[in-house]
Structure 1
Amino acid sequence: MVIDHMFSVVIPASGIGKRMQAEIPKQYLPLLDKSVLEHTIGCFTDLPFVDEVVVVIAQHDEMFNTLKIANHPKIHKVIGGKERANSVFNGIKYLYEKGTQWVMVHDAARPCVEQDDIVNLAQHCFTNKQAGILGSPVRDTMKRAGSNSNLIEHTEERNGLWHAFTPQCSNVSQLFQALNSQISTQGDINPRVTDEASALEMAGFPVALVNGSAKNIKITQPEDLALAEYYIKSKKQ
């Protein structure tokens, strides 16, 4: 599949990942021969239609520049904000002011995304001139717990429910507008903005679901590293 339009990528990497219970941010944890973040960035840098990868790092991040990939010609650094959405907005603002047209936003802690899925998402969004995200239809029975309780309140109807992944792809101008409208004058982000798609939805822009591999896990808990290692090894076989 040939994509005849260039895309930029924003990777918010300024979080600290408290649930990993690690001494360093989870994006810098070792995974096989590299850091998690290096694997993630590498999923995009060798794609010919990706012209720039904007890595959004914390103000006092001293680790990123020690990575070999930090000197890659496609990499551009931006300083992040207090929440993930603020960091994404900083990256999108940079691209908006540059005049970039299309962007994919991808979690730093998703190093197992399949390149074929990235290509399919980019092709779908550019062909249909529409935002889209990678996802996977829910397979498990979904239970709703009561407020502040672990008791089941009811069973959710799973038809039409999807797990939302990244990348999430959009026209830069639309995403800039959508995020900007959800940030207060004090810089506080609307808590309903849980990903880029939610901001686009609230702004009235249609967002498509593009089926992607369930291997596209987000490293959140310590045991996720072992699963990510397994998936990355299987890619190389």
Structure 2
Amino acid sequence: MARFHIIIPAAGAGNRMATAIPKQYLPLCGKPVVSHSIQTFFACPRISSINLALSADDFFWRSLTLDSHSRLNLHYTGGDTRAQTVLNTLEAMRPNVAADDWILVHDAARPGLTVALLNQLLDALEHDDVGGLLALPLADTLKQSNADSRVEKTIPRDGLWQAQTPQMFRFDLLHQALAGFDGVPTDEAQAVEALGLQPKLVVGSMRNMKITYPQDLALMEVLMQKEISS
């Protein structure tokens, strides 16, 4: 039976946050942003392994000694791009995974994932021929601007979705997609699409937002504190 493995690319610098430390290590409700996602994956017994992909000079995890039976694995496999980091990590994992095992790639700065939402994704895709991702149908009107930041045209939002993570594909398929992609894919799904396949969209949640700007972190803090106090 195919198992489920998590990859969390955590080698990025998060420059848009304009902070001295990478955004995945910023404090959120008393612990680093990335720790919230790790805790969610630990809380789901269906997950066989959690693989944290770090830069070679990562300062945060170097002093951590993991129990030999821990489901958390540290890989110093950070590349120049997210796609290269994931591909490097797949290579590091190869001895311990099967070709048809599921790989779920989750953003390090997306701490709002819940066990319920994770199980929803696993249930929706574990028998799928391709795999897929969490995503949200777009609700807002989209405008395309010109060089002067003036509206050039309105883009119909029918059929448009905002991609989230985890994105979930079989080991061999994801490795093939990333290794053979011409250029740098924006996410794993785009690499799979380039093979002529159609990943399935599974409805996500606003809570599963990505921390990109300082106001995102503040909003997530408010949401989590409200849940703790309720």
| TM-score of the aligned structures, taking structure 2 as reference length | 0.91
Calculate percent identity across the aligned residue pairs: 36
Unaligned runs of 5+ in 2: none
- 2:219 pairs, out of 206, 209, 227, with 227
In structure 2, the partner of 1:118 is: 118
Aligned match of 2:47? 50
- Please name the residue that 1:187 is paired with: none
Deviation at 1:34, TM superposition (A): 0.6
Aligned residue for 2:10? 13
What amino acid does structure 1 have at the position aligned with 2:158? N
State the alpha-carbon separation in 2 of the partners of residues 110 and 177 from structure 1: 26
Q: Distance in 1 between matches of 2:155 and 2:96?
A: 44
- How far the C-alpha of 1:149 sits from its partner, in A, is 3.5
> Equivalent residue of 1:59, what SS?
coil
Q: 1:16 deviation in Å?
A: 0.5
The structure 1 residue matched to 2:60, chosen from 59, 63, 66, is 63
CA distance in 2, matches of 1:24, 1:35: 11
Distance 1:230 1:164, change over 3 A: same
Asked whether the equivalents of residues 11 and 54 of structure 1 are also in contact (C-alpha less than 8 Å), the reply is yes
* Alpha-carbon distance in structure 1 between the residues aligned to 2:201 and 2:26: 30
| Over 6 Å off, 4+ runs | none
Distance across 2 between alignment mates of 1:66 and 1:27: 17
Alpha-carbon offset, residue 96 of structure 1: 3.6
- Alignment partner for residue 35 of structure 1, among 14, 32, 36? 32
Q: How many residue pairs are counted as aligned between the two chains?
A: 225
| Conserved 8 A contact 1:5-1:49 | no
Coordinate RMSD, CA, aligned: 1.9
What is the TM-score with the length of structure 1 in the denominator? Answer: 0.89
Q: Distance in 2 between matches of 1:126 and 1:106?
A: 17
Question: Does structure 1 conserve the Cα–Cα contact (< 8 Å) formed by 2:43 and 2:115?
Answer: no
